[in-house]
Amino acid sequence: MANNPAVLEQQLIAWRHELHMHPETAFEEVETSRFISNLLEAAGLDVHRGIGGTGFVANLKVGTGKRVIGMRADMDALNMTEEGEVPWRSQIPGKMHGCGHDGHMIMLLGAALKLAVQPNFDGTIRFVFQPAEEPGTGAKAMMKDGLLEKFPMEEIYSLHNRPVKPFGTINTTSGPIQASEDNFTITIQGKGGHASAPQNTIDPMIVASQVILGLQTIVSRNVNPQSCAVISCTEIHTDGAHNAIPSKAVITGDTRSYSPEVQDLLEKRMREICMNICQAYGAKCDFLYTRVFDPTINWKDQVKKCVAAGVRAAGAENTFDDFEPSTGSEDFGVFLQQIPGCNMFLGTGENEVMSNNTLLHNPRFDFNDKIIMTGVNYWYELAGICLPKA
């Protein structure tokens, strides 16, 4: 099968549809993990399961080379209801592969199967299938289980589909490519009362409004203009009513940036602004700031290898090393803090103007099967570039 590209492609598409019909979310990828790992084991790879919960590693060693690299795919789906009409739509209520992780797994699986029968490298490849990328906890769980101690790697690579990039393009860049994500919860405790007598209250709605406006000055007045930062207040909840001034208001949201230094600055200034505004109005404040995703920072030398693989797999005219960093987040950044590596985006868009139903995390999203073999070939070429034969 792996020797015949057409046959391999059709089989991979069928497997992708099977995964799409049976999505599993973070740390619940039991059948997903079993399905992929059994196929790799049947192909002769050395499989180790139960790493970070449902994650696993499949090793392929060829020749006598001592070098070891990792290739990673994420496995989890999203907690959302699919609205698409494809025959292979999700059969699990409230869950769907709305980010294309089903396609990521299949492309890496296809590359592993091809490399097993047509090896173009000398050394060891560790195929890392990671759970729980969406909540940003899967990579840390694998690391906590000793991924790098049990299965050491010199470098690691990942790819993600990108519907808003032209079909078949390879897109990456050195340095920051995706942002951190930090979540915050600001609880403002005032003094509620009748809406007709505000003079007897400490209105947390007024305080919350000032806090929200004050937070926006951090990006414009505290963050270096050459750096990137986003502060988004996304929800506000109170215990008030039409005729009752609330006693409490809760603001939630998130921040994005590309460096730990900016993360530290955002947390510090947000805390100061919240506490001082609340004090000025006589309210009390509880400020909770949680770091969820680390920034994804590509390593320069590994970017060069990805670009070289892209040129071989997709052509120089379709390979780009000047991707504009995204403020979206990616759990892969945890690995890149420990070992060199690179994340890249594989363009899957076929329309000049992308419509909403093609975007990631949209209930009508479906991975573009036409791109599968480009992804397989990219991984295949990357293996030969990272672990060349003598």
* Helices 5-21 and 101-117, packing angle to 10 deg: 150
Residues whose CB falls within 8 Å of the CB of residue 254, separated by 6 or more in sequence, listed in order: 181, 182, 183, 184, 232, 234, 292
Q: Is the pLDDT of residue 265 over 60?
A: yes
Q: Tell if the pTM clears 0.85, that is, is over it.
A: yes
The span from the CA of 242 to the CA of 227, in Å, is 43
pLDDT of 138 = 98
Query: What's the rounded mean pLDDT across residues 233-249?
Result: 97
pLDDT of 353 = 45
Active site residue ranges? 76, 133
Burial of residue 176, with CB atoms counted within 10 A of its CB: 0-12 exposed, 13-18 middle, 19 or more buried: buried
Residues whose CB falls within 8 Å of the CB of residue 175, separated by 6 or more in sequence, listed in order: 297, 298, 300, 325
213-222 pLDDT, tens digit each:
999 999 999 9
pLDDT of 76 = 98
Identify the CA nearest to 237 among candidates 245, 248, 226. 248
Q: Is the pLDDT of residue 190 over 80?
A: yes
In degrees rounded to 5, what are phi and psi of residue 207? -65, -45
DSSP bridge pairs for 68:
124
Helix (H, G, I), strand (E, B) or coil at 245: strand
Contact 116, 2 (CB under 8 A): yes
Residues whose CB falls within 8 Å of the CB of residue 99, separated by 6 or more in sequence, listed in order: 77, 78, 134, 360, 361, 365
CATH class of 180-293: alpha beta
- Residue 67 in tokens: 């070098």
Burial of residue 23, with CB atoms counted within 10 A of its CB: 0-12 exposed, 13-18 middle, 19 or more buried: buried
Q: Is the pLDDT of residue 241 over 70?
A: yes
Q: Is the pLDDT of residue 102 over 80?
A: yes
Identify the CA nearest to 153 among candidates 76, 67, 24, 254. 67
The span from the CA of 313 to the CA of 173, in Å, is 18
Ordered alpha helix ranges (H), 224-370: 260-281, 300-314, 333-336
129-147 pLDDT, tens digit each:
999 999 999 999 999 999 9
R_g (Cα) of the chain, nearest Å: 24
- Residue 157 in tokens: 């690579």
pLDDT of 390 = 82
Identify the CA nearest to 288 among candidates 185, 207, 188. 185
Q: Is the pLDDT of residue 354 over 70?
A: no
Q: How confident is the model at residue 318 (pLDDT cuts 50, 70, 90)?
A: very high
Q: Is the pLDDT of residue 315 over 50?
A: yes
pLDDT of 355 = 52
pLDDT of 357 = 54
Identify the CA nearest to 101 among candidates 366, 290, 307, 355. 366
Domain boundaries, given as residue ranges, for the chain: 5-176+296-386, 180-293
Average pLDDT score over the chain: 96
Identify the CA nearest to 219 among candidates 278, 179, 177, 265. 265
DSSP bridge pairs for 2:
none
CATH class of 5-176+296-386: alpha beta
DSSP bridge pairs for 342:
157
